[in-house]
Structure 1
Amino acid sequence: MIITAAMVKALREITGAGIMSCKTALQVTNGNIEVAIQELKKLGEITATKLVEKKTKEGVLVIEVNDNEKKGFMVEVNCQTDFVARNEAFIKFAQKIARRGLKEETTNVADTLALTIHTDISKTIESARKELAARMGENIQVRRVALLFADGVIGHYVHRNRIGVLVALHSDKTSLAKDIAIHIAAFNPQVISSNDVSKKVVSKEKEILTAQAKRDGKPERVINRIVEGRLNKFLKEMSLEGQAFLKDSKISVGDLLQSEKSTVTDFIRFEVGA
């Protein structure tokens, strides 16, 4: 098999090993990158210690929700390359974390890593992480977790394993909860209501808008009105309830929730690497 420069580059990005070492490993393994990683490990070109120093910019988000849809758990697991992020073993590892985190209701990474990977064996998630990192030849990290409860129903959505949303709805309307989760994934609101935006943020934005209006040469007598209008638009765009609904831009999410006699009590949105 012909070993291309692109193959060598890809292996080097994953392992950090030298160009000739990567080329030799690929030649020995007939171009199989996974096996080439193991070959480099045998040669001492990469170690678990070296991997820890490498940045993790890729990864997956996984969500698990219990049977009555009143509890949801989300985890972000990072790696270095898209190649590993798409690997079945890597994805299954993240799924195991989500299942265990949901069952044990952990709320931080440290407690989650301390859990056993299965209920019937002693190996911890942290031990499994280290083993997987060594096997894959990459720095693999559990970046963050989230646990959310709802007195009504949990809405959840994962977009291409890279954006994940949990939303707590004070209602039993599962389809509505799903729609709201998809909307949050797409539009990334920062708060539920415009009233939830901090006074500091509002004050800073008002200062910026005032400076912009003056720079544009607006008359002093209309600047306040212009700033108030632009500030209201800013607050609507920041808040879930103020945003135009993804499926029907003629109504806001707040209007939709009111018509459905439902309330969003909390939501969490993760994006890989963000």
Structure 2
Amino acid sequence: MVKITAADVNTLRKTTGAGMMDCKNALVEAEGDFDKAIEILRKKGQKVAAKRADRDSSEGAAIAKVNNSNTEGVIISLNCETDFVAKNDSFVSLANELADLALQYNDKDSLLAANFNGISVQEKLIEQTGVIGEKIEIGGFRRLSAPFVGSYIHAGNKIATLVGLSAVVDGAADAAKDVAMQAAAMNPVALDQTGVDQETIDKEIEIAKDQLRQEGKPEAMLDKIAQGKLQRFFKDNTLVNQDFIKDSKLSVAQYVESVDAKLKITAFERVALG
């Protein structure tokens, strides 16, 4: 019988993240063959993943990353089943590693197929499903390009945002972060009114008309008043038109223009968990 040392077990644990007993049992079953032991642990992950495929994975960590030149940003969420796992340091560390890797890819499928320390990201997630005992998957994936990109991650990694600005100017980093915080806190539906889809507009107009009818307003006045309420909806729910949370006397667009008169917000992305 092959002798399994504590050093062997510890090496396998560091490689896979699996528990000490799982690593020892895998090495015993593999008769000391390190690669075979890794394969055994991965097969265990596949079995656990199959059993938990229909579980809800609404917890996790949303992570935003920006490249060194601040021209590209990405958000991913690494999803799991419970808040207990989401707060685990090793889980958050994995989410950050995957987000760093995601900067090189344009979509989730490409990321899942990417190499992660000798295996694909998808295989790593299955492996970690076996280690943790919960469904682990990439949920959100958003990418943003702009002359200047800033990011923000809300405490607890539940919300992450990216904001693109039209130029690199003095104060761009602070402005981008402030606007990214705004997007995290206020959850705008679009950058401006042109980005609001027609279905949402029609729905808001109909809601406004129903409210006005209940208030007894004449039918002939409904369209005009409803249009006024729609403009209020745009102000409250589109990023550039919202009141700036740090100074409600300014809209977000006006705040950005106060940093530089020609500066504009070009886009934003937001991923939230829970």
Counterpart position of 2:94: 93
> What are the Cα deviations for residues 10-44 of structure 1, in whole angstroms up to 9, with x where unaligned?
xxxxxxxxxxxxxxxxxxxxxxxx969969x99x9
Q: How many residues are paired up?
A: 231
Query: Which segment drifts farther, 237-246 or 210-219?
Result: 210-219
- TM-score w.r.t. the length of structure 1 is 0.77
Counterpart position of 2:121: 125
Q: Which amino acid aligns with 2:150?
A: G
Secondary structure of 1:47 counterpart = helix
Mapped to 2, the partners of 1:67 and 1:125 lie a distance apart of 23
Aligned-residue Cα RMSD (Å) equals 2.5
Q: Percent identity?
A: 32
Counterpart position of 1:208: 207
- TM-score w.r.t. the length of structure 2 is 0.77
What is the Cα deviation at residue 50 of structure 1?
1.3
Q: Which amino acid aligns with 1:94?
A: A
Counterpart position of 2:273: 272
What is the Cα deviation at residue 228 of structure 1?
2.7
Mapped to 2, the partners of 1:154 and 1:96 lie a distance apart of 20
Counterpart position of 1:77: 78
Query: Which segment drifts farther, 108-117 or 219-228?
Result: 219-228
Mapped to 2, the partners of 1:78 and 1:53 lie a distance apart of 14
Q: 1:209 to 1:72 in 2, by over 3 A?
A: same
Q: Which runs of 5+ in 1 are unaligned?
A: 1-33
What is the Cα deviation at residue 225 of structure 1?
4.2
The equivalences for 1:217-228 within 5 A come to 217-220=216-219, 222-228=221-227
Mapped to 2, the partners of 1:36 and 1:53 lie a distance apart of 28
What is the Cα deviation at residue 98 of structure 1?
0.9
Tell whether the 8 Å contact from 2:59 to 2:86 is kept in structure 1 after alignment: yes
> What are the Cα deviations for residues 61-92 of structure 1, in whole angstroms up to 9, with x where unaligned?
11221111111121111101111111122112
Counterpart position of 1:143: 139
Counterpart position of 1:49: 50
Q: Which runs of 5+ in 2 are unaligned?
A: 1-17, 27-43
Counterpart position of 1:58: 59
Q: Which amino acid aligns with 1:54?
A: R
Q: 1:35 to 1:181 in 2, by over 3 A?
A: same
One of 124, 128, 134 as aligned partner of 2:130: 134
Tell whether the 8 Å contact from 1:37 to 1:136 is kept in structure 2 after alignment: no
Secondary structure of 2:138 counterpart = strand
Tell whether the 8 Å contact from 2:66 to 2:150 is kept in structure 1 after alignment: no
Query: Which segment drifts farther, 217-226 or 230-239?
Result: 217-226
What is the Cα deviation at residue 226 of structure 1?
2.9
The equivalences for 1:1-274 within 5 A come to 47-102=48-103, 104=104, 106-118=105-117, 122-151=118-147, 153-159=148-154, 160-172=156-168, 173-220=172-219, 222-259=221-258, 260=260, 261-273=262-274
Mapped to 2, the partners of 1:47 and 1:198 lie a distance apart of 41
Q: Which amino acid aligns with 1:67?
A: N
Mapped to 2, the partners of 1:227 and 1:36 lie a distance apart of 64
Query: Which segment drifts farther, 217-226 or 70-79?
Result: 217-226
Mapped to 2, the partners of 1:199 and 1:109 lie a distance apart of 28
Tell whether the 8 Å contact from 2:76 to 2:140 is kept in structure 1 after alignment: yes
What is the Cα deviation at residue 221 of structure 1?
5.7
Mapped to 2, the partners of 1:88 and 1:208 lie a distance apart of 45
Secondary structure of 2:240 counterpart = coil
> What are the Cα deviations for residues 177-217 of structure 1, in whole angstroms up to 9, with x where unaligned?
11000000000111111232233322332122112101111
